[in-house]
Structure 1
Amino acid sequence: MSFRVEPDPSLKDALKAADHSLAGIWVCSASPLIAEICAGAGFDWVFIDAEHSPNDLQNILAQLQAVRSYPVVPVVRPAVNDPVIIKQFLDLGVQSLIIPMVNDAQQAAAAVAACQYPPKGVRGVGSALARSARWNRIPEYLTRADETITVMVQIEAAEAVENVQEILDTDGLDGIFIGPSDLAASMGVIGQQNHPDVVDAVLKSIKAAKAAGKYAGVNAFDHDTARKYMDAGADFVGVGADVALLARATEALAASFSNESQTPAPKSY
């Protein structure tokens, strides 16, 4: 006998219920074990990255399953704003997406369309085959899917900051996630995420999102910077990464048994 299945909460559900900025951790190791460890650490959300990490469909599926029993929201970033890749991620059961390198309203609209079934969008229909609908065990999934999915796009170029208002006006878009590293590079100060011009651009984007009634997130591995953006109204902040934490901790441990001085690593990526 089958039982009624309902979709898990997505990022926008968690944001609606929150009375504080949500802190999240990147999971870049492509390891379900590490994803589960991070999911149980007390973060509000885990960011499974497929742009700069060796994550593929099988790895992402295993990580979604590994973190499901924990009170944490999985968020996934594909490598590119592509409807085929986005369709595959959605069919895996990804319900919260952050789409990278979106610089204008047209690209934002394409990201939203890739997450919606026709007639509103272009997502291919395969619910009987897909974990997203729990193989058609979720009642009326095809007509309800849009409301269960969170779509965010990344603001990570000077052009995107210039176009942020038009991007935020995109129908069906839930919010933005700001990437200071690529933003710094596009502004000619690569590696300087805390450069005053970069910080100003981040704050401008957060302010625009709040004025538009949409969510704003940002990446900030530096503790003080993360707190600054939270105080400025950022709804969710990526505050660290599994691989970075492991790198810094192993370096510190090795240095404690060495006479050689340790060169400090950047606090952000």
Structure 2
Amino acid sequence: MPLQLAPTFAARLAESSHCLRGLWVCSGSPTAAEIIAGSGCEWVLIDGEHSPITIEGTLSLLRAVAAYPATPVVRVPVNDTVLIKQFLDLGAQNIMVPMVHTADEAARAAAAMHYPPRGVRGVGSALARSSRWNLVPGYLPEASSTVSLIVQIESAEAVENAAAIARTPGVDALFIGPSDLAASMGMLGEQTHPDVVDRVTRTIAAAKEAGLPVGVNAFNLAQAREYVAAGVDFVNIGADVQILAGGAQEKLRQLQDSPEEES
């Protein structure tokens, strides 16, 4: 059987009848990535923005996750054509671009995802894992169908432009970042503030009107449930480092709060 690449995150969203649950990998540990991918989550965000994860480290994490059903999404550190090309060439099929504030910025990210004439991606498939070093038959003509682009809405400006961003050709989904959105509104650390939640729900509505999948980051589970009820198509509810830190503290608290054994 000819070698084939995995379905994209966009394809998985299109086929799903429920909200896809995801977790982050921020530690850079392939072991942590395997644990997260094997946990039962449906997608894994490999974070190249707020972590020490390098391009080479991303390659190791993609290989670690590949054995599991969860779909990996790689967040690049910045909307840069060269960086996006490098992450695509190492085999990241699903790219998330942070801090996309306008439709023009979204169009620039979309162009970086595709070879000419559709885009500006440099051609190096024979040297790259993206085509499995040309072991995937007919890779170049079909390359656009093997990748998907998620852009982040995480500023007040981006919310105002959400409808235009959602209608930008080549954008496959929006992902809302309430933490940076709150900061841009002068509410640092208040991502559950009603005004922030209102901006999130407005963005969800704009995406839905454009017929585009939309997701949100929500470590607060009560908030996550509200966003699921509001119609998001995918949600991220925790990160490996956050789960480890919280779990460690909870174990220590449980021991401290337990009754002392009678002597």
51, 73, 98: which one pairs with 2:96?
98
Return the alpha-carbon distance in structure 1 between the equivalents of residues 78 and 21 of structure 2.
Answer: 24
1:120 corresponds to 2:115 = no
Task: Pick which of 15-24 and 138-147 moved more.
Answer: 138-147
Name the counterpart of 1:190. 188
Structure 1 residue runs without a partner (length 5+): 260-269
Question: Per-residue deviation at 1:258?
Answer: 4.2
Return the alpha-carbon distance in structure 1 between the equivalents of residues 148 and 205 of structure 2.
Answer: 20
Identity %: 54
224, 230, 233: which one pairs with 1:232?
230
Question: Per-residue deviation at 1:255?
Answer: 2.7
Question: Per-residue deviation at 1:150?
Answer: 0.9
Return the alpha-carbon distance in structure 2 between the equivalents of residues 169 and 255 of structure 1.
Answer: 49
**Paired residue type of 2:97:** I
Q: Any idea what SS the aligned residue of 1:252 has? A: helix
Question: Per-residue deviation at 1:203?
Answer: 0.5
Q: Any idea what SS the aligned residue of 2:122 has? A: coil
Return the alpha-carbon distance in structure 1 between the equivalents of residues 253 and 167 of structure 2.
Answer: 50
Q: Any idea what SS the aligned residue of 1:74 has? A: strand
Return the alpha-carbon distance in structure 2 between the equivalents of residues 229 and 128 of structure 1.
Answer: 43
Return the alpha-carbon distance in structure 2 between the equivalents of residues 250 and 139 of structure 1.
Answer: 47
1:18 corresponds to 2:35 = no
Structure 2 residue runs without a partner (length 5+): 258-263
Return the alpha-carbon distance in structure 1 between the equivalents of residues 153 and 94 of structure 2.
Answer: 17
Q: Any idea what SS the aligned residue of 2:232 has? A: coil
Question: Per-residue deviation at 1:151?
Answer: 0.3
TM-score, length-scaled by structure 1: 0.93
38, 49, 59: which one pairs with 1:61?
59
Name the counterpart of 1:253. 251
Return the alpha-carbon distance in structure 1 between the equivalents of residues 161 and 11 of structure 2.
Answer: 27
**Paired residue type of 1:186:** S
CA contact (8 A) 2:10 2:173 kept: no
Question: Per-residue deviation at 1:67?
Answer: 1.0
Question: Per-residue deviation at 1:159?
Answer: 0.2
Give the total of aligned pairs: 257
Q: Any idea what SS the aligned residue of 1:25 has? A: strand
Return the alpha-carbon distance in structure 1 between the equivalents of residues 86 and 2 of structure 2.
Answer: 24
Q: Any idea what SS the aligned residue of 2:195 has? A: helix
Return the alpha-carbon distance in structure 1 between the equivalents of residues 55 and 179 of structure 2.
Answer: 26
Question: Per-residue deviation at 1:17?
Answer: 1.4
Question: Per-residue deviation at 1:58?
Answer: 1.7
Name the counterpart of 1:72. 70
**Paired residue type of 1:66:** A
- The residue correspondences of 1:1-269 to structure 2 (distance < 5 A) are 4-258=2-256
Question: Per-residue deviation at 1:254?
Answer: 2.4
**Paired residue type of 1:71:** P
Return the alpha-carbon distance in structure 2 between the equivalents of residues 193 and 98 of structure 1.
Answer: 21
**Paired residue type of 2:25:** V
**Paired residue type of 2:84:** I
TM-score, length-scaled by structure 2: 0.95
**Paired residue type of 2:225:** R
Return the alpha-carbon distance in structure 2 between the equivalents of residues 145 and 213 of structure 1.
Answer: 23
Question: Per-residue deviation at 1:143?
Answer: 1.3
Question: Per-residue deviation at 1:123?
Answer: 0.6
CA contact (8 A) 2:21 2:237 kept: yes
Cα RMSD over matched residues?
A: 1.0
Return the alpha-carbon distance in structure 2 between the equivalents of residues 104 and 149 of structure 1.
Answer: 22
**Which digits, 9 at most, give the CA deviation of each residue in 1:3-52, with x for residues without a partner?**
61111111111111111000000000101111001111000000000100
Question: Per-residue deviation at 1:168?
Answer: 1.1
**Paired residue type of 1:143:** P
